[in-house]
Amino acid sequence: MENKNQYWRGLEELNNDPKFLAGKKHEFAEGIPLEEVFTEEDGDLTSNRRDFLKYFGFGISAVALAACNKTPVKNAIPYIVKPENITPGIPNWYASTCNACAANCSILVKTREGRPIKIEGNADSPVFKGGVCGTGHASLLGLYDNERLRKPRIKGADATWQAIDKEIPTALASSKNVALITGTVNSPSTKKAIAALIAKYPQIKHISYEPFSYGAIAKANKESFGMEVIPGYRFDLAKVIVSFGADFLGTWISPVEYTKQWAKNRSAEDKTMSRHIQIESYLSVTGSNADVRYPIKPSAETAYLISLYNKIAVLAGAPSLGSLPAVELPVNGIENTAKELWANKGQSIVVSGSNSIGAQVVVNAINSLLGNIGNTVDLANYSNQHYSDDAQFASFVNDLSSGAADGVIFYNVNPVYSYSESAKLMEGIKKAKVSISSGSNLDETANLCMYNTPDSHYLESWNDNEPKAGYFTFTQPSISTVFETRQMQESFLLWAGLTTNFYDYMVSNWASTLNGDNWTKAIHDGFYQASVSPVSASFNAAATNGVEASAYELYTTNTKKLELKLYTKVGVGAGEGAHNPWLQEMPDPISKVCWDNYAAISHATAKELKIKDGDKINITFKSGKIESVPVLVQPGQPNNVVAVAVGYGRTAGGKTGLNVGVNAYTAANYSTSQMHMQVDVKIDKAEGSYELAHTQTHHTIEGRAIIKEASLGEYIKDTKAGNHDHHKSLRENGNLITLWSERDIKGHKWTMAIDLNKCTGCGSCVVSCNAENNVPVVGRKEVLNRREMHWIRIDRYYRFRTKDNNFITKEDDYNNESTGVDFENVSVTYQPVMCQQCGHAPCETVCPVLATVHSSEGLNHMAYNRCVGTRYCANNCPYKVRRFNWFKYRDNDQFDFNFNNDLGRMVINPDVTVRSRGVMEKCSFCVQRIQAGKLKAKLENRTLVDGDVKTACQQSCPADAIIFGDINDEKSKVREYFKKDRAYFVLDELNVQPSVAYMTKIRNVNEELVHEKGHSAAKHEAKPEEHKKDEKHAEHHS
Amino acid sequence: MKLSKLLTLAVSILLSYQLAFADAAEGEQLYKANCTACHAINEKVVGPALKDVHKRRESAWLLKWIKNSQKLIASGDPVAVQVYKENNESPMTAFENLTDAQISSIVDYIKKESEAPAAPAVAATSPTAKVSADTNSSNGGGFYTSGTYYALLVMSLVLAIIVFVLYRIQKVVESLYEQKEPAAAAAEKAENVSWKNNRLSFRYKLFKKHPVVGTILVSLLFMVVFGLLGFDYGNKEIGVQKGYAPVQPINYSHELHAGTYKINCLYCHSGADKGKQASIPSASTCMNCHMHVQAKKEDGKVSPEIQKIYNAVGWDAEKRMYDPSKPKTPIKWVRIHNLPDHAYFNHAQHVKIGKVECQACHGPIETMKVVSQQRSLQMGWCINCHREANVDVANNDYYEKLHANLKTEGQASITVAQNGGLECGKCHY
C-alpha cells in the first residue's frame, strides 16, 4: 500500500485490540437475533419443524381472523373554525429565541398544523447568523416530554392555579427572608416582573445561580474595568486566539456565536488563517480544533497565565507581575505564544475557561497589555448570556440551613442536583416555611418543594431576551400550552398583585421604543438591534495584587499529584439535557461515547495506576468521593489529570436521564476559586467493569486514506497540497475500470461539499437530522450492539506522533517502547459522513428487489416499502452509512423514548415516513426538502436558485462547514467548492463517484503534514511515465 | 286608420301580455338570484318573510328600499327605520344595478307566490331537504351495520348452544341405552363400521387411498377461502378500496353543491392548489353560506343535516348568532381516499402545476350524491398517468430550464415520466 495509514479511529485500533479486530471483520455486530425470538428461558434452541408448522398455522388463522374485521375507518376531522394563517400541509415559521441555555440564540420554529416540529437558526440575526447547536435542536423534545408536570402541585398533590395563587402570596408575606434563585435572567421584562415581585415583598432577594458557573469573568471585569459583565468576544477579528481551557466552540458561554466567528477565519482559500492555540486540561471540542494544543494540569493554569503575561510584558517593556520564577510549557510554548500574541497586538485574543477571579484578572491584564480591549474584547457590546453570583448563592444556602432564611423560589434551576453541597441545601429546603419550584419536571429540587408551579416550555411562552448589550431577541409562543402550565413571569406578576398578563406587560415595557408596526416587525424578525454607547475602559492594575503568589503556590504544591478536572459535554451540558433522548444518544464529539460519562485518563497515567478501559474507579478527594465511574483512556488527556463530565447521574426529573452516568457535581467546590477542579485526588479501582457504548469503532473503514490534510505553509506553496490523488489521475486518463455505465445528468444534480477546515465536530447536524428525518433513538444497549440509527455521523480520527515527531504509521510502533508515542499530544480531525449518493452506487447493484435505485437528479433513492431487509446494500456500502431497523422503534416499551408515547410522537415530521422493522434506511439528502423547494419554485413560476434547498444538517451548521446545492447550477456555491483544489472524494479509488466532496483540512502550523508518500516534495519517487500522463502533477513538481 | 289603430291596440295588448309573462319569469329568476340568500316568502330568514309585502308597502317605497335601503333609512323615513330596527339593524344589500322594471317584476313574482298555497313554495326553497331524504333512502343501512353484526353473533351463539345441548342429550341417551341393553348396544356398535373401514365411502377414497390428493384438496380449499378473505382485507388495509362509499356524518351532496350550484371545488377544498392536502373545509366555511341557507322544512325547522353544522359550530338558528354556551364539536368525516403513509402526494403539484382536473382522480364528483372512491389509487394507476401526461413546460419558468436541455435533443415535449416522475424517491421518502 502506498499511503500508509496515519489516522486512527481510536486506541483500540492502534493497539490492535482483539475485540476491535473481531468487530471490524463484520458489517453487523451480531447475526440475526433468531435466538432471542425462539429461545426458551433455559437457553436452548427449542424451535423445530413442529413449531414452525404451529407458527405457520397460527399465521393463517390470524389472517383469517383479521379478514373478518371491517376495513378500519379513518376519519378526517377538519377545524371548526380554521385559523386564517394555517393551511394543512404547509408549514408555518415563527421567529423565536432558544432558551435551551442562557446563550439565547435567535431561532426559527417550524410548525405543522400547529405543532412545532423543528428548530432552525435565524439567518437574519446579526449575532447568531443562523446557527443552532445540538442542545438547541433537541430542546424541542422538552415540549413533548410525557413526564412534564401537567398541573401545579401543593405538597405533592395536584392542585389548581387558583389554590396556588391563594396560598403563595400569603406564604410569601409571612416569611421574613426569601431568595428567588434563577438561572441567568437577561430579559428586561422578566427582570421588571421580578422587580415588581420584590417591590411587593421586600424580603425577597434575587440570586443568579448557574451550576457550571462563569461568574468569575464578570467579577474579574468589575475589578479590572469596573464593569460587572462578560465582554463581547470577537474571535472573527483575532488573528491569534489563545484559549486557556475555554471550550468556546463547544460549551463555553455562546458556542454558536463563537463558532460562526471562528469559522470565518478558517477558510484556507484566503491564504491567511487565524492561529488557534489551546492550553487545556482535557481534550475539548475547541482543543481538538486548535492548531497548537498544550495539555496542562488544571492547577497550573493561572501560573501559566502569569508567565504568559510576564513574557509579553518583557516584549512590551511593561513591569512584570511579581518576581517568582517563570513556568514554561514544552518547546517553549509560553514564550512562543507570547511572541505570536505580541506580533498581532490588537488583533489577538486570550480567553480562559477558569472560574477563578484571579485567573480572569490576569487574562484581562494580558488582553489589555496587547491592546485587545475595545477590539477583540468588546466591553460595549458585552454579553448577558451567563451570569451567576456564586458567593451570594453559597451564603444563601448557609442562611437557609441555619434558619436565617425561611423561604426560597427556584425559577428553572435545579441546585439540589447540581450544587456541590447538595445535602446542606436539601436540609435547608425542608426547613423553609415556603419553597417553590418552577421546574417543568419533578426534578431533584422540585421533589423537595412545597409548591410546584410548572413553567411553560419556551415554545409556549412570551419573552424578550438581551443576550448581547443592545441585541434583543424575542420569544413568541408557537403553540398554546400543552398542559396546565403557566410561564413563571405570569406568576411573578400575579403574586405581585398585578392583573396584566405578561404579554401586555412586555408590550407596555417596549411601548416607548417599539410600537405599532415596529413592534410587529421586531416580533416577526425575532430580534431588535438597538445602538450601544461606546465604553472606554482602562485596566486597573491593582486588581492583579496577590494573584501571583497563590497561583504559584497552587502550581508548585501539586506538580506531582493527581488532579480532577470537571467539564461539561456538548449535548447534555450542565445537566439540563440529561432527560433528552436525542442528546443522550448524540455521541460525544471526542470520545464518541453516548449514554454515559466516564473518567478520561491519559495513557501513561492509566499504565501507572494499572487500570484500563472499562475498569471502574473511585475518585477520592478532600471533600468527598465520586464512586464507581468507568475509565476511558483518552488520547490528548494530560498525564496525572482525570476528567469527568458533569450533568450525568440524575436521580429524578425524567426516566431518560436516570441511572445514566455518575454525578460529578459533588466535586465542584462551588464557592472557591477552584470550582471546576480538585487537586490531590486518589484513584483506586472499584468493583466490576463496564462497557461504554461508543460509536467510535463502529462502521470501520479499513486503513485507507480518507482524511487529507496539509499545513497552511504547504497549501500556500501548492494549493493541491495533500490532495495529489493518484487514483483521480487514473480516472482522468480513463484507466479506472467501472462496472456501471456513465450517467449524464442534465437537470438538477444534488451534491454536497464538506469543509473539513471548518467542521468542529460539535454534533449539531446529527441532532438536526434526527429531528428532520424521524430518526429513532435506540438506547445504550443497542448502541453497544452497533445498531445506532443516525443518518449522519461525525468520524473522529487521531493522528499520533512518536517522541521524535514522526507520525505513527505502523501498528508495531505503538508497542515499541523505544519509539514512544506521545499520547498527550494528538492531532484530531473530524469528518461528517452521510450517504455519499454515489453515481455508481454499489448498494444499488446488489439490491435484489430494486428498493434502492438511482434518480435522474443524482440521488440514491430508498423505497422503504420495497425493502425486504436482505442488508446486502449495507454490506456493499464502502462508506457504511446504511442503517437497518432491527426493531420497531415506535410503540415499543423496549425503546421507551419519545416514539413510545403519543405526546412524544408529536415531534414527527409528517413529510418523512416513519420506518418500520426490517427495512434499511439512510440519508436521503433531505429529499423532502428538495421536493418542497422545487414545488415552491414551480408554484412561484421561477427557476430554482441556489439556497432554495438547504438540508437539515447544512441549515444549522454553526461553522457553515456543509454546503449543499445543484452542481449543474452555474451560480451555485457547491459548484465553486467542487472546483477547489482542496476538493477530494473519500475512497476515490473505488470510482463509485460520490456526490459528496470533502475539502482537505489545512492547519495553521509550521510543520509538514502531507503524508502522501508518492507526492510529498522530499520523498517523491513517482515513475516518470506517470508524469507524462498527468500534466497537473508535472506542474506541481516543476 | 281604424284598422291601424286596431292593429296597434292588438300589438300593444299582445306586447303587454308578453311583458307580463316575461315579468313573471324574469321576476322569478331575479328573485332566486338576488333575494333567496336572505329572504323567503313564508318565513323569516335573515330578512323578514316577504309574503304579501306588496300589500304592506307601497310600490314606490319598495322601489327605493330595494335600490338602497341605507339611503332611505338615512333620509329618516319612519317605515324604513322601523323595518331596520325590527331586523336587528342588519343592513340589506343595495341593488342599484336593478332597473325599476326588474324590481317590479320581482314584486310581481312575490305577489304571485303570496297568493299561491304555502307548501309548494317551501318545497321549492328546500332542495337540500329533498336530497337528504333521497340519500337517506339510497344509502341508509347497508348490510354491514353493527346491528346486523350483533344479531348474527347472538344467533350463532344460540345455534352453538343448541348443538351442544343436542350433542349432550345424544350422549346421555346412548349411555342409558348401553346400560340398559348392553348386548344390543355392542352388536350395533360392531355393525356400525367407521368410514375408515368402509372402502366404498368417498371419504375413504379421498383420505385413506389417496392421502396426498386429499390433503392438497383440503389445503387448497382453505387457502382459497382464507386467501380471498385475506387479499380483500389486505387490499383494504393498504387503501385499495375502489367503490368505497361510507356513510358520512352529514348527508352532504356534491351533486347539489358542485353540480347544481356549481360552487368551485377550491372554495371548500382551499388547500388543493396550495399544498399537500386539498383539505376538508372547516365547519366555519360551511357557515359562510349556511348561515343564510337553512332549507327549512314544512314544520319551520332547519334541515336536520344543516342543523348538524349548527351543532358543530354552536350556532343558534333562532337567535341567528353563535352561542358561546353551546359546545363546539368537530365533524368527523370519514376519509374515502386513503393513500398509504409511505406515499407522498401533493395536491398543489397536480392541481396547480400539472393542471389536472379534480375529476381525473376523484371521478365525476359533481354528479355524486354520496362520494365514492372511483379510482383504485394503486401505484400502477399513478404510474400510468405519469407515463402519459405531458409536463406543461412552456408555461412554467421552472420547467423551461429543464426543457432547454431537452430541446437540443430535438424533443418538443416531455412526459412526467421523462421528467423523473417514475422514480421511487419522488413519492416515497
* A636 lies in the same domain as A688: yes
Contact A67 B230 (CB under 8 A): yes
pLDDT digits (tens, 9 = 90+) for A487-522: 999 999 999 999 999 999 999 999 999 988 999 999
What confidence score (pLDDT) does residue B138 get?
A: 36
- Tell me the pLDDT of chain A averaged across its residues: 86
- Least Cα distance to A377 among A387, A385, A368, A390 occurs for A368
Which A-chain residues 57-116 have CB contacts (< 8 A) with chain B?
Answer: 60, 63-64, 66-82, 87-90
Residue B101, pLDDT > 70, answer yes
Whole-number pLDDT of residue B268: 92
Chain A contact for B222, CB < 8 A? yes
Q: Are residues A262 and A379 in the same domain?
A: yes
Q: What is the 3-state secondary structure (H, E, C) of chain B?
A: CHHHHHHHHHHHHHHHHHHHHHHHHHHHHHHHHHCCCCCCCCCCCCCCCCCCHHHHCCHHHHHHHHHCHHHHHHCCCHHHHHHHHHCCCCCCCCCCCCCHHHHHHHHHHHHHHHHCCHHHHHHHHCHHHHHHHHHHHHHCCCCCCHHHHHHHHHHHHHHHHHHHHHHHHHHHHHHHHHHHCHHHHHHHHHHCCCCCCCCCCHHHHHHHHCHHHHHHHHHHHHHHHHHHHHHHHHHHHCCCCCCCCCCCCCCCCHHHHHHHCCCCHHHHCCCCCCCCCCCCCCHHHHHHHHCCCCCCCCCCCCCHHHHHHHHHHCEECCCCEECCCCCCCCCCEECCCCCCCCCCCCHHHHHHHCCCCHHHHHCCHHHCCCCCCCCCCCHHHHHHHHHHCECCCCCCHHHHHHHHHHHCCCCCCCECHHHHHCCHHHHCC
Same-domain pairing of A379 and A390: no
How close B61 gets to chain A, by Cα (Å)? 40
B23, pLDDT greater than 80: no
Ranked by mean pLDDT, the top range of A694-698, A958-962, B62-66 is: A958-962
Does A747 sit within 8 Å of B405, measured CB to CB? Answer: yes
Which residues in chain B are closer than 8 Å to A841, comparing Cβ atoms? none
Answer with the residue of higher pLDDT: A20 or A547.
A547
> Cβ–Cβ of A861/B334 closer than 8 Å?
no
Q: Could you give the percent of chain B with pLDDT greater than 90? A: 20
Q: Where are the domains of chain B?
A: 2-124, 150-237
CB contact under 8 A, A943 and B398: yes
A and B: number of Cβ contacts within 8 A: 173
The whole-angstrom distance between B31's CA and the closest CA on chain A is: 31
In a domain, A931, yes or no: no
A343 and A416 within one domain = no
Chain A residues touching residue B339 (CB < 8 angstroms): none
Residue A424 lies in a domain: yes
Which residue type occupies B239? G
Q: Is the pLDDT of residue A354 over 50?
A: yes
A866 close contact with B: CB closer than 8 A: yes
Residue A600 covered by a domain? yes
The overall average pLDDT reported for chain B is: 79
Please report whether residue A73 resides in a domain: no
Strand, helix or coil at A468?
A: strand
Residue B223 confidence class, pLDDT cut points 50, 70, 90: confident
Residue A938 touches partner B, C-beta closer than 8 Å: yes
Between chains, do B226 and A60 touch, taking CB under 8 Å as contact?
yes
Position B117 confidence tier, pLDDT thresholds 50, 70, 90: low
Which site among A80, A867, A885, A921 would you substitute to test the B interface, given the most B Cβ atoms closer than 10 Å to its Cβ? Answer: A80
Residue A118: give the domain boundaries. Answer: 95-208+386-468+471-531
Residue A155 lies inside a defined structural domain of this protein: yes
| Interchain contact A935–B (C-beta under 8 A) | yes
pLDDT score of B293: 84
Range name among A190-194, A371-375, A807-811 with the lowest pLDDT average:
A807-811
Domain count, chain A: 3
Tell me the mean pLDDT in the region A63-74. Answer: 60
Residue B376 has pLDDT above 90, yes or no: no
Task: Tell whether A765 is covered by a domain.
Answer: no
Contact A89 B222 (CB under 8 A): no
Residue-level pLDDT at A3? 42
Fold of B2-124: Cytochrome Bc1 Complex; Chain D, domain 2 (1.10.760)
- CA-based nearest distance B188→chain A, Å: 39
CA distance B274 to B353: 10
Q: In B, which residues are within 8 Å of A930 by CB distance?
A: none
Are A81 and B282 an interchain contact pair (Cβ–Cβ within 8 Å)?
yes
Closest CA to B72 of B92, B53, B52, B49: B92
Read off the CATH number of the domain in which A671 is found.
2.40.40.20
Cell numbers found for residue A961: 462547514
Are residues A87 and B236, on separate chains, in Cβ contact within 8 Å?
no
Mutate to test the interface with A, among B233, B244, B310, B407 (most CBs of A within 10 A): B233
Decide if A865 and B428 are in contact by the 8 Å CB cutoff: yes
| Range from A441-450, A563-572, A692-701, B7-16 carrying the lowest mean pLDDT | B7-16
Give contacts of A746 with chain B, Cβ < 8 Å: 402, 405-406
Q: Which residue from A467, A554, A623, A568 is spatially nearest to A213, judged by alpha carbons?
A: A568
Residue range A627-676, pLDDT digits in tens? 999 999 999 999 999 999 999 999 998 888 888 999 999 998 877 778 88
* The pLDDT value given to residue B331: 92
Residue A808, pLDDT > 90, answer no
Domain boundary among A487, A514, A531: A531
A935–B349: do the CB atoms touch at under 8 Å? yes
What residues of B are in contact with residue A72 (Cβ under 8 Å)?
Answer: 237
pLDDT at position B333 over 60 = yes
Q: What local confidence, expressed as pLDDT, does residue B193 receive?
A: 60
pLDDT classification of A61: cutoffs 50, 70, 90: low
If asked whether residues A335 and A391 sit together in one domain, one would say: no
Which pTM does this prediction carry? 0.81
Cβ distance A218 to A366 under 8 Å? Answer: no
pLDDT at A1013 over 70: no
A128 is a domain residue: yes
CA distance A642 to chain B (A): 46
Q: Which three cell numbers mark B321?
A: 348568532
The span from the CA of A575 to the CA of A592, in Å, is 18
Q: Is A912 near chain B, with CB under 8 Å?
A: yes
Q: Which residue of A has its CA nearest to B229?
A: A67
Q: Is B271 on the interface with A (CB under 8 A)?
A: yes
In a domain, A490, yes or no: yes
* Residue B346 touches chain A, beta carbons under 8 Å: yes
φ, ψ for residue A315, nearest 5 deg: -65, -35
Minimal Cβ distance to B344: which of A851, A911, A934: A911
Q: Is B277 on the interface with A (CB under 8 A)?
A: yes
CA distance A457 to A436: 18
Q: Which residue has the higher pLDDT, A674 or B380?
A: B380
Residue A212's contacts (CB-CB under 8 Å, 6 or more residues apart) are A418, A566, A568, A573, A574, A646, A676
